Amino acid sequence: MTKFYSGQVGNACYSNVFHTGETTAEIYFDKRFFPSYLWVFPLPGNLANVGFSMLSGEIAKRKFNLRKAFYGFIEQSPELKRKFKDAVQVSPPEGFGLPLGSKVPVISGERFMLAGDAASLIDTITGEGIGNAMLSGKHAAAQTLRCFRQNSFSRNFIKTYDDTLLAEIGSELKTHYQAQRVLTRMPLLLDAIFFACKNKMLKNQLQKRL
């Protein structure tokens, strides 16, 4: 991995989205926006967080307006138009960038450690980062205690934090990054993956590898 990838996200809150169960998160793909996707995450009180994610490089290359793409994804999908027929948008769309885990940068040094988004630990496939953020925070806290106990805050001593964290999630970040790049070049492969997941044995194998 030789370069960093970032994503941009636009999301808003809606009420009364059809058939949004309290425990069901929905992900939608559309070949017109691939490799981007739209999510519908349930919230309490008949609300849903609805968002759209796209690689920054794709936005620049295809000259997409993130806000227009967000609404366009919903309006151009018959299924989503039905789902949002009676929905009411209750918050304005907000956009922000995400530092994806395509290449983990230097995450520690003399008297500092980076965690979460600051360490580019966001999953390149799902865009999810809270799990890795919490894990990195846990390891950073443990390393902080070691630093004070040993009264050592040097780069070499703190590097234990890097080694411990990347031993746990480095391989996963790399695998997901590589899978994301393959899917970007070969979008039809996603259809094959969905078809394969109908087979329970193949689905379990894919889950283990990803």
Assigned domain for 199 exists: no
**Same domain? 143 vs 94:** no
Segment 198-205 mean pLDDT: 64
Assigned domain for 16 exists: yes
* Residue 3: pLDDT over 50: no
The predicted-structure confidence for 123-175, as pLDDT tens digits, reads as follows 776 677 889 999 999 999 999 999 999 999 999 999 999 999 999 998 888 88
**Same domain? 122 vs 78:** no
DSSP-assigned beta bridge partners for residue 203: none
Residues shown for the chain: 210
Last residue of one domain, picked from the residues 52, 80, 99: 99
* Inter-helix orientation angle 155-185/130-150, to 10°: 170
**Same domain? 94 vs 17:** yes
Assigned domain for 138 exists: yes
Assigned domain for 194 exists: no
**Same domain? 89 vs 131:** no
The CA-based angle 129-132-136, given to 5 degrees, is 135
Domain span at 69: 6-99
Reduced to 3 states (helix: H, G, I; strand: E, B; else coil), residue 17 is coil
**Same domain? 124 vs 90:** no
Give the predicted TM-score (pTM) of the model.
Answer: 0.66
Strand 37-43 relative to strand 6-15, pairing: unpaired
Last residue of one domain, picked from the residues 60, 79, 99: 99
Assigned domain for 195 exists: no
Q: What is the CATH number of the domain that holds 29?
A: 3.30.9.10
**Same domain? 70 vs 113:** no
How far apart CA 13 and CA 6 sit, in angstroms, is 23
Contact present, 51 and 65 (Cβ < 8 Å): no
**Same domain? 80 vs 130:** no
Assign 72 a pLDDT band (cuts: 50, 70, 90): confident
**Same domain? 11 vs 92:** yes
Last residue of one domain, picked from the residues 99, 125, 145: 99
**Same domain? 66 vs 24:** yes
**Same domain? 77 vs 137:** no
Total domains in the fold of the chain: 2
Average pLDDT, the chain: 80
